[in-house]
Amino acid sequence: MSLKIATWNINSVRLRLPLALRYLSEHQPDVLCLQETKCPDDAFPTRDFQRAGYGHFAIYGQKGHHGVAIVSRLPLSAVGARKFCGIGDARHISAEIDEDLGGRPVRLHNFYVPAGGEEPDPEVNPKFAHKLAFLEEMQDWFANDPVMRDHGVLVGDLNIAPLEHDVWSHKALAKVVSHTEVEIAALKNIQEAGMWVDALRANVPEDQKLYTWWSYRSPDWESSDKGRRLDHVWLSPSLAARQVGTTILREARGWERPSDHVPVMVELTSA
Protein backbone atom coordinates (compact mmCIF):
# COMPACT_ATOMS: atom_id res chain seq x y z
CA MET A 1 0.00 0.00 0.00
CA SER A 2 1.32 3.45 -0.88
CA LEU A 3 0.51 7.12 -0.58
CA LYS A 4 1.21 9.49 -3.48
CA ILE A 5 1.40 13.22 -2.74
CA ALA A 6 1.85 15.74 -5.57
CA THR A 7 2.58 19.47 -5.48
CA TRP A 8 2.08 22.00 -8.27
CA ASN A 9 2.13 25.78 -8.58
CA ILE A 10 -0.81 25.86 -10.96
CA ASN A 11 -0.78 29.65 -11.57
CA SER A 12 -4.60 30.01 -11.47
CA VAL A 13 -6.62 26.90 -10.71
CA ARG A 14 -9.63 28.03 -12.73
CA LEU A 15 -7.61 28.98 -15.80
CA ARG A 16 -5.66 25.73 -15.74
CA LEU A 17 -8.35 23.42 -14.39
CA PRO A 18 -8.18 21.18 -17.51
CA LEU A 19 -4.46 20.66 -16.88
CA ALA A 20 -5.03 19.78 -13.23
CA LEU A 21 -7.74 17.28 -14.17
CA ARG A 22 -5.51 15.80 -16.88
CA TYR A 23 -2.72 15.33 -14.35
CA LEU A 24 -5.03 13.63 -11.87
CA SER A 25 -6.40 11.30 -14.55
CA GLU A 26 -3.02 10.33 -16.00
CA HIS A 27 -0.91 10.13 -12.83
CA GLN A 28 -3.39 9.35 -10.06
CA PRO A 29 -1.87 10.99 -6.98
CA ASP A 30 -3.83 10.43 -3.80
CA VAL A 31 -3.35 14.05 -2.80
CA LEU A 32 -2.62 17.14 -4.90
CA CYS A 33 -1.31 20.32 -3.27
CA LEU A 34 -1.76 23.47 -5.33
CA GLN A 35 -0.14 26.89 -4.98
CA GLU A 36 -0.96 30.24 -6.55
CA THR A 37 -4.58 29.22 -7.01
CA LYS A 38 -5.62 32.88 -7.38
CA CYS A 39 -9.14 32.00 -6.32
CA PRO A 40 -11.35 32.87 -3.33
CA ASP A 41 -12.60 29.89 -1.38
CA ASP A 42 -16.22 30.10 -2.57
CA ALA A 43 -15.13 30.09 -6.24
CA PHE A 44 -12.81 27.09 -6.00
CA PRO A 45 -13.90 24.45 -8.58
CA THR A 46 -14.70 21.75 -6.01
CA ARG A 47 -17.39 20.07 -8.15
CA ASP A 48 -14.97 19.46 -11.01
CA PHE A 49 -12.50 17.79 -8.65
CA GLN A 50 -15.28 15.79 -7.00
CA ARG A 51 -16.34 14.42 -10.37
CA ALA A 52 -12.73 13.34 -10.89
CA GLY A 53 -12.84 11.36 -7.65
CA TYR A 54 -11.21 13.94 -5.37
CA GLY A 55 -13.85 14.87 -2.83
CA HIS A 56 -11.86 16.15 0.15
CA PHE A 57 -10.52 19.69 0.35
CA ALA A 58 -8.49 22.13 2.42
CA ILE A 59 -8.63 25.57 0.82
CA TYR A 60 -7.16 28.94 1.71
CA GLY A 61 -7.51 31.38 -1.16
CA GLN A 62 -8.01 34.98 -2.11
CA LYS A 63 -9.10 36.84 -5.21
CA GLY A 64 -6.46 37.23 -7.90
CA HIS A 65 -3.34 36.54 -5.82
CA HIS A 66 -1.52 33.72 -4.04
CA GLY A 67 -3.73 30.98 -2.60
CA VAL A 68 -3.09 27.38 -1.58
CA ALA A 69 -5.26 24.26 -1.61
CA ILE A 70 -5.14 20.55 -0.89
CA VAL A 71 -7.30 18.30 -3.07
CA SER A 72 -7.56 14.69 -1.93
CA ARG A 73 -9.36 11.45 -2.57
CA LEU A 74 -8.53 10.46 1.01
CA PRO A 75 -10.22 12.05 4.04
CA LEU A 76 -8.53 15.10 5.55
CA SER A 77 -8.71 16.27 9.15
CA ALA A 78 -7.15 18.87 11.45
CA VAL A 79 -7.19 21.47 8.68
CA GLY A 80 -5.41 24.70 9.55
CA ALA A 81 -3.96 27.79 7.89
CA ARG A 82 -1.21 29.91 9.41
CA LYS A 83 -1.00 33.62 8.63
CA PHE A 84 2.69 34.40 8.40
CA CYS A 85 4.11 37.84 9.21
CA GLY A 86 0.67 38.93 10.41
CA ILE A 87 -0.56 39.04 6.80
CA GLY A 88 -3.50 36.98 5.58
CA ASP A 89 -2.13 36.46 2.10
CA ALA A 90 -3.03 32.77 1.77
CA ARG A 91 0.39 31.17 1.64
CA HIS A 92 0.04 28.14 3.93
CA ILE A 93 -2.45 25.40 4.63
CA SER A 94 -2.08 22.14 6.51
CA ALA A 95 -4.10 19.00 7.09
CA GLU A 96 -3.76 15.46 8.33
CA ILE A 97 -4.20 12.68 5.79
CA ASP A 98 -6.15 9.86 7.36
CA GLU A 99 -3.91 7.14 6.00
CA ASP A 100 -2.02 4.71 8.19
CA LEU A 101 1.71 5.12 7.48
CA GLY A 102 3.50 3.89 10.55
CA GLY A 103 0.43 3.75 12.75
CA ARG A 104 -0.58 7.40 12.58
CA PRO A 105 -1.89 10.02 10.15
CA VAL A 106 0.44 12.04 7.95
CA ARG A 107 0.65 15.76 8.70
CA LEU A 108 0.86 17.70 5.43
CA HIS A 109 2.02 21.32 5.00
CA ASN A 110 1.47 23.15 1.71
CA PHE A 111 3.46 26.40 1.29
CA TYR A 112 3.70 29.21 -1.22
CA VAL A 113 6.70 31.26 -0.07
CA PRO A 114 6.83 34.87 -1.36
CA ALA A 115 8.86 35.27 -4.55
CA GLY A 116 10.73 38.30 -3.23
CA GLY A 117 10.69 40.70 -6.16
CA GLU A 118 13.69 41.57 -8.31
CA GLU A 119 16.22 43.28 -6.04
CA PRO A 120 17.87 41.07 -3.35
CA ASP A 121 18.22 43.88 -0.85
CA PRO A 122 15.69 44.10 2.01
CA GLU A 123 16.62 47.73 2.61
CA VAL A 124 15.30 48.86 -0.77
CA ASN A 125 12.92 46.04 -1.67
CA PRO A 126 9.97 45.43 0.71
CA LYS A 127 9.07 42.22 -1.16
CA PHE A 128 12.48 40.74 -0.41
CA ALA A 129 12.26 41.86 3.21
CA HIS A 130 8.87 40.12 3.45
CA LYS A 131 10.35 36.92 2.00
CA LEU A 132 13.17 36.86 4.53
CA ALA A 133 10.76 37.53 7.40
CA PHE A 134 8.47 34.76 6.18
CA LEU A 135 11.37 32.30 6.07
CA GLU A 136 12.52 33.30 9.55
CA GLU A 137 9.03 32.71 10.93
CA MET A 138 8.92 29.28 9.26
CA GLN A 139 12.19 28.41 10.97
CA ASP A 140 10.97 29.55 14.38
CA TRP A 141 7.68 27.70 14.02
CA PHE A 142 9.20 24.33 13.22
CA ALA A 143 11.97 24.77 15.79
CA ASN A 144 9.54 25.58 18.59
CA ASP A 145 6.55 23.38 17.71
CA PRO A 146 7.71 19.79 17.13
CA VAL A 147 4.11 18.58 16.72
CA MET A 148 3.88 20.55 13.48
CA ARG A 149 6.78 18.65 11.94
CA ASP A 150 6.15 15.22 13.45
CA HIS A 151 5.42 12.45 10.89
CA GLY A 152 5.14 15.23 8.35
CA VAL A 153 5.40 16.15 4.70
CA LEU A 154 6.18 19.70 3.62
CA VAL A 155 5.58 20.59 -0.02
CA GLY A 156 5.18 23.64 -2.15
CA ASP A 157 6.66 26.43 -4.17
CA LEU A 158 9.35 27.62 -1.78
CA ASN A 159 10.74 30.03 -4.40
CA ILE A 160 14.34 29.12 -3.60
CA ALA A 161 16.71 26.92 -5.60
CA PRO A 162 19.27 26.07 -2.93
CA LEU A 163 21.93 23.94 -4.63
CA GLU A 164 24.41 24.73 -7.38
CA HIS A 165 22.73 22.37 -9.83
CA ASP A 166 19.23 23.47 -8.88
CA VAL A 167 19.75 26.34 -11.36
CA TRP A 168 20.94 26.45 -14.94
CA SER A 169 23.95 28.60 -13.99
CA HIS A 170 25.14 29.07 -10.44
CA LYS A 171 27.51 31.86 -11.54
CA ALA A 172 24.86 33.80 -13.49
CA LEU A 173 22.22 33.52 -10.77
CA ALA A 174 24.29 33.87 -7.59
CA LYS A 175 22.96 37.41 -7.08
CA VAL A 176 19.49 36.80 -8.50
CA VAL A 177 16.49 36.41 -6.17
CA SER A 178 15.77 32.70 -5.53
CA HIS A 179 19.47 31.70 -5.51
CA THR A 180 21.19 34.25 -3.26
CA GLU A 181 23.29 33.23 -0.28
CA VAL A 182 20.92 34.76 2.26
CA GLU A 183 17.90 32.88 0.88
CA ILE A 184 19.79 29.59 0.67
CA ALA A 185 20.98 29.98 4.25
CA ALA A 186 17.44 30.74 5.43
CA LEU A 187 16.07 27.65 3.68
CA LYS A 188 18.79 25.48 5.20
CA ASN A 189 17.91 26.83 8.65
CA ILE A 190 14.27 25.80 8.14
CA GLN A 191 15.31 22.32 7.04
CA GLU A 192 17.52 21.90 10.09
CA ALA A 193 14.89 23.31 12.47
CA GLY A 194 12.33 20.79 11.24
CA MET A 195 14.83 17.97 10.62
CA TRP A 196 13.36 17.80 7.11
CA VAL A 197 14.81 15.48 4.46
CA ASP A 198 14.92 16.76 0.86
CA ALA A 199 13.00 14.00 -0.94
CA LEU A 200 13.96 15.06 -4.46
CA ARG A 201 17.69 15.11 -3.76
CA ALA A 202 17.43 11.79 -1.92
CA ASN A 203 16.86 10.28 -5.37
CA VAL A 204 18.95 12.58 -7.58
CA PRO A 205 22.61 13.30 -6.68
CA GLU A 206 23.47 16.93 -6.00
CA ASP A 207 25.85 17.09 -9.00
CA GLN A 208 22.98 16.44 -11.43
CA LYS A 209 20.76 19.22 -12.81
CA LEU A 210 17.22 19.20 -11.43
CA TYR A 211 14.54 21.78 -12.31
CA THR A 212 10.81 22.28 -11.69
CA TRP A 213 10.34 25.76 -13.20
CA TRP A 214 11.10 27.38 -16.56
CA SER A 215 10.40 31.08 -17.16
CA TYR A 216 7.66 32.27 -19.48
CA ARG A 217 10.23 34.77 -20.78
CA SER A 218 12.11 32.04 -22.63
CA PRO A 219 10.57 31.51 -26.10
CA ASP A 220 12.07 28.02 -26.31
CA TRP A 221 12.20 26.81 -22.73
CA GLU A 222 12.94 23.19 -23.59
CA SER A 223 16.01 23.64 -25.76
CA SER A 224 17.51 26.47 -23.68
CA ASP A 225 16.68 24.57 -20.46
CA LYS A 226 17.31 27.56 -18.20
CA GLY A 227 15.39 26.14 -15.28
CA ARG A 228 15.37 26.31 -11.50
CA ARG A 229 14.22 23.92 -8.76
CA LEU A 230 11.77 26.13 -6.90
CA ASP A 231 9.30 23.39 -5.90
CA HIS A 232 10.16 21.06 -3.05
CA VAL A 233 9.07 17.97 -1.16
CA TRP A 234 10.48 17.51 2.34
CA LEU A 235 9.86 14.55 4.65
CA SER A 236 10.21 14.06 8.37
CA PRO A 237 12.75 11.36 9.30
CA SER A 238 9.92 8.93 10.13
CA LEU A 239 8.56 9.23 6.58
CA ALA A 240 11.85 9.61 4.71
CA ALA A 241 12.50 5.93 5.36
CA ARG A 242 9.19 5.13 3.65
CA GLN A 243 9.95 6.96 0.43
CA VAL A 244 9.64 4.85 -2.73
CA GLY A 245 10.54 7.57 -5.22
CA THR A 246 9.81 11.00 -6.68
CA THR A 247 8.69 12.21 -10.10
CA ILE A 248 9.05 15.62 -11.78
CA LEU A 249 6.68 15.81 -14.77
CA ARG A 250 8.81 17.97 -17.03
CA GLU A 251 6.54 17.36 -20.02
CA ALA A 252 3.73 19.34 -18.35
CA ARG A 253 5.65 22.55 -19.08
CA GLY A 254 4.87 21.88 -22.75
CA TRP A 255 1.13 21.38 -22.31
CA GLU A 256 -1.25 23.93 -23.82
CA ARG A 257 -1.41 27.15 -21.78
CA PRO A 258 0.89 25.71 -19.09
CA SER A 259 2.00 26.92 -15.71
CA ASP A 260 5.66 27.87 -15.58
CA HIS A 261 6.00 25.20 -12.85
CA VAL A 262 5.49 21.46 -13.31
CA PRO A 263 4.00 18.86 -10.95
CA VAL A 264 6.26 17.05 -8.50
CA MET A 265 5.16 13.82 -6.77
CA VAL A 266 6.49 11.67 -3.94
CA GLU A 267 5.40 8.12 -3.24
CA LEU A 268 5.51 6.68 0.28
CA THR A 269 4.93 3.10 1.30
CA SER A 270 3.16 1.77 4.36
CA ALA A 271 5.29 -1.40 4.38
Would you list the domain boundaries of the chain?
A: 2-269
Residue among 167, 194, 163 nearest 181 (CA)? 163
pLDDT range class, residue 182, cuts 50, 70, 90: very high
Yes or no: say if 258 and 221 are a contact pair by the CB < 8 Å rule.
no
pLDDT range class, residue 148, cuts 50, 70, 90: confident
pLDDT of residue 251: 97
Interval 155-175 mean pLDDT? 98
Q: What share of the chain has pLDDT > 70, as a percent?
A: 100
C-alpha distances out from residue 100 to 48, 57, 104, Å: 27, 19, 5
pLDDT range class, residue 58, cuts 50, 70, 90: very high
User: Bigger pLDDT: 103 or 12?
Assistant: 12
pLDDT range class, residue 270, cuts 50, 70, 90: confident
Q: What is the pLDDT of residues 257-267, one digit of tens each?
A: 999 999 999 99
At position 264, the amino acid (one-letter code) is V
Interval 74-91 mean pLDDT? 95
**pTM, two decimal places:** 0.97
pLDDT of residue 34: 98
pLDDT of residue 195: 95
User: Bigger pLDDT: 100 or 207?
Assistant: 207
pLDDT at residue 149 is higher than 90: no
Q: Output phi, psi for 186, to 5 deg.
A: -65, -40
Residue among 161, 190, 200 nearest 178 (CA)? 161
pLDDT of residue 140: 96
Instruction: Give alpha helix (H) positions in the chain.
Output: 17-27, 46-51, 126-144, 170-173, 181-194, 199-203, 221-224, 237-240
pLDDT of residue 261: 98
User: Bigger pLDDT: 228 or 148?
Assistant: 228
Interval 214-223 mean pLDDT? 90
User: Bigger pLDDT: 179 or 98?
Assistant: 179
pLDDT mean across residues, the chain: 96
Interval 146-168 mean pLDDT? 95
The domain made up of 2-269 has a fold known as: Deoxyribonuclease I; Chain A (3.60.10)
Interval 91-103 mean pLDDT? 88
Q: What is the pLDDT of residues 29-54, one digit of tens each?
A: 999 999 999 999 999 999 999 999 99
pLDDT at residue 154 is higher than 80: yes
Interval 51-66 mean pLDDT? 96
pLDDT at residue 102 is higher than 90: no
pLDDT range class, residue 271, cuts 50, 70, 90: low
